[in-house]
A and B are shown apart, each in its own frame.
Chain A
Amino acid sequence: MNTDASVMHDAHPSSPVHEQDAQARERSQDELIMDLERDQIVAATSRPVPRATLSSRATAGLWALRVFVVLVSLMVIYTFIDQLH
């Protein structure tokens, strides 16, 4: 792509060479984009997906799991430090 762009800069914008390059570039871009799914292109994946709505029970469950995991992790880290001594 960059090579094409540099060739384009060398030719006069209205010259036949420029038009051929532009057509070739456009054709090549069309081929490139056809090999990708539309929602696979970076411009599409850069758009965030909408936020999910969690029920209050699901949110409470996730918080309970998170607090539990943090507590157990602290226990493992404490044990690790204790074993070093």
Chain B
Amino acid sequence: MATPEVTASPGLALPPLTEEDTVRSWDRSRVHRARRHSKRWYLLWLLVGPGILAMLGENDGPSMIAYASDGAQYGLGFFVPFIAVLFAMAFVCQEMCMRIGAVTHRGYGELVLQRFGRLWGWFGAGDLTLTNLVTLVGEFVSIRVGLAYFHLGSGVAVALGLALVLFTLSGGRYWRWERIVLGMALFNGLFLLAAILVKPHVGAIVSSFDFTPFPGGSFNTLLLLLASTIGATVTPWMIFFQQSASADKGMTPDDVKHGRYDTAIGAVLAAIFGIGALIAGAALLTHNGAGIQGFAGAGFPRALAHVAGGAAGTVFALGLIEAGAVAILTISASTAYAAGECVGVSHSFNSSPRDALVFYAANVGVALLAAAVILIPGAPLLSIALNANVLATVLLPVSLVFMVMLANDKGLMGSWVNRRSTNVIGITVIAFVGLCGAAYGIDSFLLAVHLIGS
């Protein structure tokens, strides 16, 4: 690694620059030039990325299937406004992560570990690894479901996912990785196209904002839907990812305003595309949710093709492939950031694989492990994919509590600490998520051990 000692002016010793610093300074020089010359749109273009990727990355395969399943079983009422509210909640959480990353230039795992001790840091990393691994299995399953529509099997899904991870890691630069994944993430809009292709009734969509009372079903089903829909919107990996990516991108307090735009654009796009999947799924409502049971095969897109035409099925299948592929890249990256930060070694896309071995090995390793699971004959892939969001919801409150504590830490954040209103919203989100996750976990357990009846 090149680590030359440099001096800006005689007598003033500057710290040694690494290859990571050099690459980051190229990106920063473009930001400074754009700001100096008041190129507002170019500046926005340079600074968007982590927020959009976190939000669209969370519109992953299992999440889109969850939205579509909600639509197929219950229609649009309740869920359209609920998804919009959840992404507003996600914005509040992700804005905090971005701000902490931009102000401290450090990732979430690193800060928790250093500020609160190794035990809490490793607990957080452990939670993240568990939920990421389970979610990544779900991503490979969703790619497999999408490919099955085109008569392609698990082997192709695994090869495609791993090839993408290796390709995006090959550049040795954060900017290149971010732009490739951003380009892919825009295809999340396929779910909106699928919604248009099913020719929904516009009046039904508008009237769904009346916030219809929750549809019928057992108390446990209600809790499952709440927990899985929350887990489809806010998750631990997003917190780790956006803070670390904001630091890796080189964002500074001057960029916080644009970081907010980035996060807001991501939240709005993700909500629109998520509602698109819900609307597409709702086309199956009159067919008793046909296709949900066929999740392990190409069931959902096929059912949609049967009901709304081949184009809708094809677009939905392509959307599932895209959603799984983008999430594999972002979730693997969040695992890699957490591993590098907790071990205390280089953790940046701007470092070469030789200099950041743990970071790159964790990135590829977690994807390989998840890929291996879906190749196991008879593995309960459907159950794993559907439970991934619930597990994320249950483990989320701890990550959120530390995030709010960091965002209120005057020693770290200075004048950038949370405002009172942000704290009120943040604490409400934590209470809501914790309550829904815990209620589902306890109720399901009591049902499973027959202590209560369904």
Chain A interface residues (CB < 8 Å from chain B)? 1-2, 5, 25-26, 29-37, 39-45, 48-52, 54, 62, 65-66, 68-69, 72-73, 75-80, 82-84
Contact = CB atoms under 8 A, between A and B. Distances in A.
A76 B387 contact: yes
A29 B116 contact: no
Contact of B445 (A30, A35, A40, A79): A79
A36 B32 CA distance: 10
User: Interface SS of chain B: helix, strand, loop or mixed?
Assistant: helix
A35 B29 contact: yes
B17 A33 contact: yes
Contact of A35 (B25, B114, B346): B25
A66 B164 CA distance: 36
Contacts of B15: 41, 43-44
A75 B106 CA distance: 34
A73 B445 contact: no
Contacts of B394: 69, 72-73, 76
Contacts, number: 132
B412 A49 contact: yes
A76 B444 contact: yes
A45 B114 CA distance: 12
User: Interface SS of chain A: helix, strand, loop or mixed?
Assistant: helix
A15 B26 CA distance: 30
Interface in B423-444: 437-438, 440-442, 444
B114 A49 contact: yes
A79 B444 CA distance: 6
B114 A48 contact: yes
Contact of B411 (A1, A50, A72): A50
A66 B114 contact: no
A30 B29 CA distance: 12
Contacts of B22: 1, 32
Given A29-B4, A42-B21, 4 more contacts: A25-B4, A51-B115, A65-B401, A80-B383
8 contacts: A1-B2, A30-B7, A33-B17, A49-B115, A51-B115, A72-B394, A72-B441, A84-B383
B195 to A, nearest CB: 31
B78 interface: no
Contacts of B32: 35
A40 B115 CA distance: 18
Contacts of B105: 37, 39-40, 44-45
Contacts of A30: 6-8
Q: What are the nearest 10 A-B pairs in CB distance?
A: A43-B15, A75-B445, A29-B6, A72-B441, A35-B28, A79-B444, A35-B25, A32-B25, A82-B448, A35-B29
Contacts of B391: 73, 76-77
Contacts of A5: 2, 4
B409 to A, nearest CB: 7
Contacts of B24: 36, 40
Contact of B116 (A32, A36, A51, A80): A51
